[in-house]
Copies of this chain bind each other. A is one copy, B any other.
Amino acid sequence: MRAIRGAFLDFVDDPWRHVGDEQAATRFFADGLLVVDDRGIIVDFGPHDEVSARHPSMDVVEISDRLILPGFIDGHIHIPQTRILGSYGEQLLPWLEKWVFPEERRYFDREYAEEGVRRFFDTLLASGTTTCQAFTTAQPVTAEVVFEEAARRNMRIITGITAIDVNAPEWFTTTADEFYAAATELIDRHHGVGRSSYAVTPRFAYGASKDLLAACGRLKAENPDVWVHTHISENPSEIRGVLQLHDDCTDYLEVYEKYGLVGPKFTGGHGVWLTDGEFRRLSAAGAAVTFCPCSNLYLGSGLFRLGRATDPEHRVLLTFGSDVGGGNRFSMLNVLEEAYKVGMLNNTQLDGSIDPSRQDAAEAERNRLSPYRAFYSVTLGGAEALRLDDKVGNFDIGKEADFVVLDGRGGPPAVRWRTGLSVGDAAPTTLEHAADLLFAIMMVGDDRAVAETWVMGERAYSRDAGDVA
């Protein structure tokens, strides 16, 4: 048993449910204590003086002048695109052909996959991300290597073979039968083992024949506990292609519904162009969407309607995702920066200054990504959307002790004078200060704000200890 002492902030509810009083969703201890057992499970948490009284003799790691949050959750990331993030010039479909397929193919080779996956996890930890839901390639070897490396690091992962059987070069595709057989084997070997979960992962409906989607449906029916992870409504050209390929469906979501894939544990990445009706059906099904703002801007996909997705009448569960390499940054802090900007851009249209008939003050309010909403979304909110909130997302007793230690002075030179404005160099002493610091970190700071990342109660990354491989 060991304990970590410092300033802790986490969430106990959804701040979008507390408009005007988001602090009610937040928990903050300026001097807190987190007690972790030998397996890495949280056994106690609260104000230092109360908690320490209950555990008289214990090793205590003191973390001063920092703010400790639950580890970040990335709901949508492509492991084999680690090396090609920031590749020039194309929207979704030509970008896949030009950059993605050739690089992903290299991961059919186990040795290259092992190097890439190792670098991937190193970068992830240096970004403060402790849980991700990830794409691999169409060949099972990539997913295997990912499960192995995640297990070696004791990290929580949701992943699976990323199946594609049409609209890709032949050397890149799989068949429905091969996919079904290999996925079944991987589910047996890895799903629910340690911290690993399997996701049935059709790449996207544009790359999936009816046979492949039927195989996905069969896998989900036979293994109801597995996740389903895919893309949805990212780009208008893609949507047109999907509705040509699946001409028995009237919208993108219907393709996945038809094969029994949409429900709890379903996540569709992007959803930029989802209609109000599709949002309502996702909400009713308990399914989730991943908001990937870096990617949506980088590939020019469009502006995700954050304020619409968070409509309390039809709330859609949301994870936030980097979507590396469609997204150009690994850090969820950069993801929050771009998410904030998307919300603000949405509001140019909603504030009525261009077209008064489109004014919607309530939706505009929901588009504002306050620091509460932002950090909820990459911790507890992500865990809820991924149905992992019994395991991770905040510091509740019984959860796994994954956390990130933030340094408000880390970032470009501009950040130091900025964060000093309200907080000085020490840890924040009030929730207001903590929220102001977090906003500065996400808008002016970057991955340099991640001083340490801990996995299951063990320090897995320390910025000041030096380099990532």
Which chain B residues border A443 with CB–CB below 8 Å? 85-86, 298, 328
- Min distance, Cβ A274 to any Cβ of chain B, angstroms: 14
* Interface residue? A82 (CB, 8 A): yes
A413 near B298 with CB under 8 A, answer no
Chain B residue, CB-CB nearest to A354: B236
* Interface residue? A353 (CB, 8 A): yes
- Min distance, Cβ A55 to any Cβ of chain B, angstroms: 36
B-contacting 9-mer, from A194-202, A205-213, A258-266, A343-351? A343-351
B85 near A414 with CB under 8 A, answer yes
Tell me the residues in window 330-362 of chain A with beta carbons closer than 8 Å to chain B beta carbons: 330-331, 337-338, 340-341, 343-348, 351, 353-354
Q: Mark A445-469, 1 if CB is under 8 A from B, else 0.
A: 0110000000000000000000110
Which chain B residues border A368 with CB–CB below 8 Å? 89
* Interface residue? A219 (CB, 8 A): no
From A240, A301, A337, residue with most partner B Cβ within 10 Å: A337
A240 CA to B354 CA, complexed, in Å: 10
* Interface residue? A440 (CB, 8 A): yes
* Interface residue? A27 (CB, 8 A): no
A353 CA to B446 CA, complexed, in Å: 35
The interface size bin for chain A is: 35 or more
- Min distance, Cβ A17 to any Cβ of chain B, angstroms: 19
State the oligomeric state as a number of copies. 2
- Given known contacts A86-B418, A348-B302, is B328 in contact with A123 (CB within 8 Å)? no
A347 CA to B414 CA, complexed, in Å: 32
Chain B residue, CB-CB nearest to A298: B341
- Min distance, Cβ A431 to any Cβ of chain B, angstroms: 15
Tell me the residues in window 352-404 of chain A with beta carbons closer than 8 Å to chain B beta carbons: 353-354, 368, 370-371
A353 near B85 with CB under 8 A, answer no
Q: Mark A236-255, 1 if CB is under 8 A from B, else 0.
A: 11001000000000000000
Among B236, B353, B354, B444, contact of A348 (Cβ-Cβ < 8 Å)? B236
Which chain B residues border A341 with CB–CB below 8 Å? 297-298, 300
Chain B residue, CB-CB nearest to A461: B413
- Min distance, Cβ A109 to any Cβ of chain B, angstroms: 16
Among B236, B237, B351, B447, contact of A91 (Cβ-Cβ < 8 Å)? B351
A370 near B88 with CB under 8 A, answer yes
* Interface residue? A105 (CB, 8 A): no
- Going nearest first, the 10 A-B pairs with the smallest beta carbon separation are A300-B344, A86-B443, A236-B353, A297-B341, A86-B444, A413-B468, A237-B353, A126-B413, A328-B443, A412-B447
Interface residues of A (CB under 8 A from B): 82-86, 88-89, 91, 119, 122-123, 126-127, 235-237, 240, 297-303, 324, 328-331, 337-338, 340-341, 343-348, 351, 353-354, 368, 370-371, 412-414, 417-418, 421, 436, 439-440, 443-444, 446-447, 467-468
Having A85-B443, A91-B348, one finds 13 other A-B pairs with CB under 8 Å, namely: A83-B417, A83-B421, A86-B440, A88-B371, A89-B370, A91-B351, A119-B417, A123-B412, A236-B354, A237-B351, A300-B346, A330-B413, A413-B468
26 A–B contacts, CB within 8 A, in A order: A84-B418, A85-B414, A85-B418, A85-B443, A85-B444, A86-B418, A88-B439, A91-B347, A123-B412, A123-B414, A126-B413, A236-B353, A297-B338, A297-B341, A297-B345, A299-B344, A300-B341, A300-B347, A300-B348, A301-B348, A302-B345, A328-B337, A329-B412, A330-B412, A413-B447, A413-B467
